[in-house]
Amino acid sequence: MKRFLNPKGAIGFALVALMFATAILAPLLIPAEWATRMDIRARLSGPSAHHWLGADQLGRDLLYRVMLGAQTSLKIAGAAVLLSVLLGLPLGVISGFYRGRVDNVLMRLVDTLLSFPVLLLALTISAMLGPSLPNTIIAIGVAFAPFLARIVRGEALRVTQMPYVEAARSAGANDWRLIVRHVLPNIMPPIIVQATISLAFAILAEAGLSFLGLGTQPPDSSWGLMIQASRDYLDVAPWTALVPGGAVALTVLGLNMFGDILRDVFDPRSN
Amino acid sequence: MLRTESGPSPETLVSVENLRVEFDTDGGTVVGVDGVSFSIKQGETVCVVGESGSGKSVTSLSVMRLVEFGGGRIVDGRMKLARPGGEALDLAHADPELMRSIRGVEMGMIFQEPMTALNPVFTIERQLTDGLRVHKGLRQREARARALALLKSVRIPEPERRLAQYPHELSGGMRQRIVIAMAMACEPRLLIADEPTTALDVTIQAEILALIDRLKRENRMAVLFITHDMAVVAQMADRVVVMYRGKIVEEGPVAQIFENPRHDYTKMLLAAVPKLGEMRGTSAPEPMRTLDAKPRPSPSMAPAASMSAKPEVLLDVKNLTTRFPVKGGVLRRTVANVHAVEDVSFSINVGETLSLVGESGCGKSTCGRSILRLVEPQDGEVWLNGWEVRKLAPLELRRARREMQMIFQDPFASLNPYRRLRDQVAEPLVNFGLASRSEIEDRVAQLFDRVELPRSFLRRYPHELSGGQRQRVAIARAIAPNPKLVVADEAVSALDVSVQAQVLNLLMELQADLGLSFLFISHDMAVVERISHQVGVMYLGRIVELGPRSAVFEDPRHPYTKSLMAAVPIADPRHRRIHENASTKPLSSPIFPIGRQAERSTYDEVTPGHFVLRRN
């Protein structure tokens, strides 16, 4: 617990708490039409007393939009990364632990998926399933899974060859126990780091899908959608990109710091 | 006698005075060495000896001023180096640019690990000539000629061919010769050698030690030799500096240190070193000497098999053969086989220790793992207590492993860093269903008592323990399921000599109390001589000599056993036997094409129970 009290842990924890509080509370406290109400005179206006963070090309308040968009973005990104871990972790661990033919078959599959650009893969899946929130999550989650599987496999390969795994094997542990008790805890640190980084990319991937009409559907707002919409106005109203971009950056920063601390908390060596 | 007023006396090359080095860590400032003073004369070898963490490497790195690159700071003291011109330079305060021109020119350094001290992507020529071109401004052709001369001076066979080769094409011993050649390139007046032979096999160690000694004599070079091995000290040193926890505890001429040590730590260090040949005339193993405060009852060891009434065989290995495929080509097909273990047979009696000795790559570890089926052998029979281990189905094998446990070499890697020690020792009890949940707690606590670890360690994690303590945990885990056989694979090689003695004594006590049989795998002849009933000497996958310990050590018959014995350094400065053996014969390789039928191992029984491999 001491770990959370150092500056890095405190800032990371505060940022993550702020983002999740916003995502949960904003839709309850802010009426939905505030984010869609168009103030024509304030189109592309900068931060002011009336619109604290400025307004977009339709005169919609950016602060309300970014707060209401938090839930969509975090929900999709969080669920997608979770899905990619659920798919990639077993795949990678089995590959790295059993090696040989199993590894060959699984990794060729993973390599095939890796050879497609992530967005193209997500796009294909999304187009096949149809545009909806769960389908967006599935599309991004599946598209991200091969990356995680690759990292997990490498780590599992390394850890499986450690003498403590061999020692546990000679102490009678079966494969399941070896994987769960000995391999998994030792490969968690890089997985935590990769998962937090993936969250940022998932937010952006959601943006890409939304832009192509396969992700979040207007008038709902999401950070990705906002970044995409700001594209044409970067020179006249850069804040339209900076506000949602800043929200993404702060979330990722917070998650990264939080992830580091989380990793240390699980590591008995750092206590 | 005339002496200059300031600075070191004329022949003194380096004098370190009151050196203090600190390291800044997350947990605060750590003192690496404190108040270290010593000097090195021209043509003199000063050995700095101590156990891990004693500050001996920090000292040598400070003289090179390389310690800064590892996060250290020289906060106090002076290190005077006599320059070629005669003036004295304080290395502790010399500016980095000047140090760069001194390193490699006036001082050369040899590192411990010849595998990593050379850059794998450059040829030997490039690595050797780099320093010459930078420091001496030689042109390519001159540098090449000098590199060739250097290779000849370190006696590398076929020097012309070596220049074009890459490090991975050379053996460990040859690589260390290259490293020495690099250190010698600019004819330094001080050579710093940091554990230069620790990673090498004993026969190669003997050659490298002889090489360093010859270069020192020929060039009147000063040598600062860092080691943990008292036997190497006895062979190499003119003077000895003993370090303990960052301080010098004793310093003196080598004969004085060995024959009349004053400090208790030096005495303990010397007592803990087993000397090859000191077991002559005894038949049973004897506990290691330690200078423990409390006198412990010496375990009564069972005498060797030939003496006892009726030896009962526990493990019988017949014609064991293990091969590993060498993959090659685009399709990763098997192109050849490594014959790691080739037609090996031996047996171990109940309550006895059989040691397999040999150099790296001889197949001794693979042999141990093949018996436990941690690797699958291709051929042969392994009988344990009436079962054929090789015929067991997976589930039966898991149960059979209860009878045979293993202790691994590296106590830092053989414990899972994420699990409490209690859970790790409980692992076999849980897996084999040997105790109920409530009993486990008690059993584990008893096991901790048995290996002399405090019960307060039960809830700790591995990183909180020292190497010796961890190895005790590993031993507790191995004996938890009451096995009959314990395979100890280099179980004490990673430990400091004083800790090594304690752990070996613990193993011998456990053997006497529990009637355990040990298969002890080691490269250390002196340790093996002390603890074994039977000894098997392995070379290229085969046992070349097998028999009662006294027979193999007192009457070695196979030429390989003889050369192995001759290469072991003796911890006695009056018996120096380092001499360069010019015939560096290339080690034959155990890699054979697929389908090769290896000939059977046939043995001559020279005396009852003493077998020697027949040579073709």
Touching check for B428 and chain A: CB below 8 Å?
A: yes
Query: In the structure encoding, which two tokens stand for residue B545, read together?
Result: 């000599």
Q: Check if the beta carbon of residue B576 is closer than 8 Å to that of residue B149.
A: no
**Residue A172, min C-alpha distance to chain B (Å):** 5
Tens digits of residue pLDDT in B59-82: 999 999 988 888 888 999 999 998
Out of A76-80, A200-204, B240-244, least confident range: A200-204
Residue B400's pLDDT band (boundaries 50, 70, 90)?
Answer: confident
pTM confidence score = 0.83
Predicted confidence band of residue B9 (pLDDT cuts 50, 70, 90): low
Please determine, for residue B4, whether its predicted confidence score (pLDDT) is greater than 50.
no
Q: Average pLDDT in the B307-327 region?
A: 83
Instruction: Give the whole-angstrom CA distance, residue B362 versus residue B527.
Output: 18
Q: What is the dihedral of CA B287, B289, B291, B294, to 10 degrees?
A: 20
Verify whether the Cβ–Cβ distance A181 to B398 is below 8 Å.
Answer: no
In the predicted model, what is the mean pLDDT of residues B94-104? 88
Confidence of residue B295 (pLDDT cuts 50, 70, 90): very low
**A186 touches A159 (CB < 8 A):** yes
Find tokens 């493990």 and name the residue.
B315
DSSP for A88-157?
A: HHHHHHHHHHH-HHHHHHHHHHHHHHHTS-HHHHHHHHHHHH-SSHHHHHHHHHHHHHHHHHHHHHHHHH
Q: Does B432 touch chain A (CB under 8 A)?
A: yes
Average pLDDT over residues A105-129: 90
CB within 8 Å: A268 and B398 = no
Q: According to the model, what pLDDT value does residue B294 have? A: 46
pLDDT surpasses 50 at B7: no
pLDDT per position as a tens digit, A61-102: 888 888 888 888 889 999 999 999 999 999 999 999 998 889
Say yes or no to pLDDT of B230 above 80: yes
Where b means 16+ CB within 10 Å and e means fewer, B211-248 reads bbbbbbeebebbbbbbbbbbbbbbbbbbbbbbbbebeb
- Distance in angstroms (rounded) separating the CA atoms of residues B355 and B364: 10
**How many contacts does A have with B, using Cβ atoms within 8 A?**
74
- pLDDT for the residue B419: 92
Average the pLDDT over B374-383 and give the result.
92
pLDDT bucket at B298, cuts 50 / 70 / 90 = low
pLDDT for res B203: 82
pLDDT on residue A4: 57
- C-alpha–C-alpha distance, residues B315 and B483, integer Å: 12
Largest CA distance in chain B: 84
Assess contact for B105 and B186: CB atoms under 8 A.
yes
Give the pLDDT confidence score for residue A3 in this predicted structure: 55
B75: DSSP letter: E
How far is B241 from B500, CA to CA, in rounded Å? 22
pLDDT at B296 over 60: no
CA distance B522 to B532: 11
Confidence at residue B292, expressed as pLDDT on a 0 to 100 scale: 57
* Nearest residue in chain A measured CA to CA from B373: A170
Please determine, for residue B151, whether its predicted confidence score (pLDDT) is greater than 80.
Answer: yes
Mean pLDDT across the stretch A122-126? 88
Distances in Å between the alpha carbon of B59 and those of A52, B37, B155? 62, 10, 30
Identify from B418, B422, B460, B519 which residue to disrupt to test chain A contact, counting A C-beta atoms within 10 A and taking the largest count: B418
Residue A59 confidence (pLDDT) above 50: yes
Radius of gyration of chain B (CA): 26
pLDDT (tens digit per residue) in B458-490: 999 998 888 889 999 999 999 999 999 999 999
| Token pair for B278 | 């000191």
Residues 6+ positions from A221 with CB-CB distance below 8 Å: A35, A65, A66, A68, A69, A72
- pLDDT for the residue A269: 74
Pairwise CB contact (< 8 Å): A174 & B431? yes
Q: What pLDDT, on the 0 to 100 scale, is given for residue A141?
A: 94
Buried b (16+ CB within 10 A) or exposed e, B20-55: bbbeeeeeeeebbbbebebbbbbbbbbbbbbbeebb
Edge-first strand listing for the sheet containing B247-253: B107-110, B190-194, B222-227, B45-49, B239-244, B247-253
Selected residue with higher pLDDT from B84 and B254: B254
The model's pLDDT over B23-48, given as tens digits with 9 standing for 90+, comes to 887 777 888 899 999 999 999 999 99
Q: Is 0.95 exceeded by the ipTM? A: no
At B155, list the tokens: 């006696």
Q: Count the neighbouring beta carbons within 10 Å of the beta carbon of residue B449.
A: 12
Q: One-letter amino acid identity for A221?
A: S
Residue B209: other Cβ atoms inside 10 A = 24
> Buried b vs exposed e over A174-201: b needs ≥16 C-beta within 10 Å?
eeebbbebbbbbbbbbebbbbbbbbbbb
Q: Which of residues 468-527 of B touch A (CB under 8 A)?
A: 474, 477, 480-481
Q: How high is the pLDDT of residue B1?
A: 40
| Both tokens assigned to B477 | 């885990």
* Cα–Cα separations (whole angstroms), residue B128 to B158, B179, B182, B562: 16, 9, 5, 36
Q: Is the dihedral of CA A39, A44, A45, A46 positive or negative?
A: positive
Q: Mean pLDDT, chain B, as a whole number?
A: 87
